[in-house]
Structure formats: C-alpha cells, structure tokens
Amino acid sequence: MNDLYRRISKDDAVVLFVDHQTGLISGLVRDYGVDEFKNNVLALANTAKFFDIPVILTTSFENGPNGPLMQGLTELFPNAPMISRPGQINAWDNEDFVNAIKATGRKQLIIAGVVTDVCVAFPALSAVNEGYEVFAVADASGAFSEQVANGALMRMAHAGVQIMSWFSVASELQRDWRNDQEGFGNLLAGHLAGYENVIGTYMGAQNDVKK
C-alpha cells in the first residue's frame, strides 16, 4: 500500500515558477486580487529561499503581450535557471525546461503558475506521467475564475498531484517550530498579516514580562 501522506523534503524538492508574467497576472488572474496574488507568489519564493530549495523560472512568449517575469522573482533568484520558451504552451514540451529539472537530481516538484488550468496543470500532469511527485501551490497560481481554478485543481488531484498552499508548503518543510523559530516566524509575518499580529502581540507580552 502506498503512503497517502508523503511529505515534501527540502533535500529532494525543486520549486517551479511557470509564467508569472506581468501581462498574464494583470490580464488573466481573476480568482485573487493582484496584490494578494503577488504576495502569495513572493511568499512561496521566500519559502524556497529560506529553505535553500533550488528554483527554476520559465516564461512563455515574453516579448509579446504576456510580458516579462515578475520583478520580485528575478531579484530573489538572479542565478536560477531561466527558461524562455519560444512558443510551447506546456512547459514540459520544452526540452531545456525538463533538462533543468533533471539537472537538479530531485524528484519532488513544487509548481505554481499562471494560469492554473494550463500553465500549472499541463506540466504537473506531464511530470506525474514521468514519475515525479508533484505539489501544486493553489494560492500562488491564478486563473480566470474560482470555478476554473477549482476544476483544474480537481483534475490534478485525481491524477495524483498534491494540492497545497504556500503556507502549508512552508509548514511542511519547517517540520518543527524549534528549527529556527525566529527565522520561520519572520517568514510568516512577512506575508501573513494575521501572523504579523500574532508576533506583535507576543513581543508586546514579552516586553511586559521584562518590565
């Protein structure tokens, strides 16, 4: 019997950012507000950086209306492989993209992109067929509507893709609060307004105790 709960390992994972391009985000993402969506994408990016997980970036038709990659991603990962696909809609159809993944030697793929039902679903399903373990990050992926996103997530889940949020990815990698509690807390506080309030309340209480 296969294990139903297979955890992400920071030693076997790679994060794939597929087509987080300015034109696509502003024109096609409707299941999240633009600011909320960008926050979620950068939260996943900072999670990868915090846990020192390799990242691969890819764009499609970036010299056209799709536009360039989000500036925050290129700033965070200036040395990450950047695959500019000349036309392939499914990133898995691009040999350079697949070879960049294979070069990492890792078998767990954490994937997010724009749009969910195409740019995430197509390579995710292709990777499952190739024997990879795939985790799709729902809130760092955007679609035309919630209905479209839900249909795509259901399709992937039926094929064995695990559906997660950036927060659940970060928490599963962290494993235990005692593993750099301050660093992990700062990661969460930087992207979760509610958790920033938790940290503020805790620090205030600590200061009161010291007095």
Catalytic residue annotation: 119
What stretch of H or E contains 111?
strand 108-113
Do 17 and 101 touch, CB atoms closer than 8 A?
no
Helix 34-50 to helix 181-189 angle (10° resolution) is 160
Interior/surface letters 89-117, b for 16+ CB within 10 angstroms, e for the rest:
ebbbebeebbebbeebebbbbbbbbbbbb
- 159: which DSSP letter? T
Structure tokens at 107: 């078998």
Degrees to nearest 5, angle at CA 188 with 17 and 119: 15
> Residue 112's closest CA among 47, 175, 190?
47
How far apart (Å, rounded) are the C-alpha atoms in residues 2 and 206?
46
How far apart (Å, rounded) are the C-alpha atoms in residues 169 and 96?
26
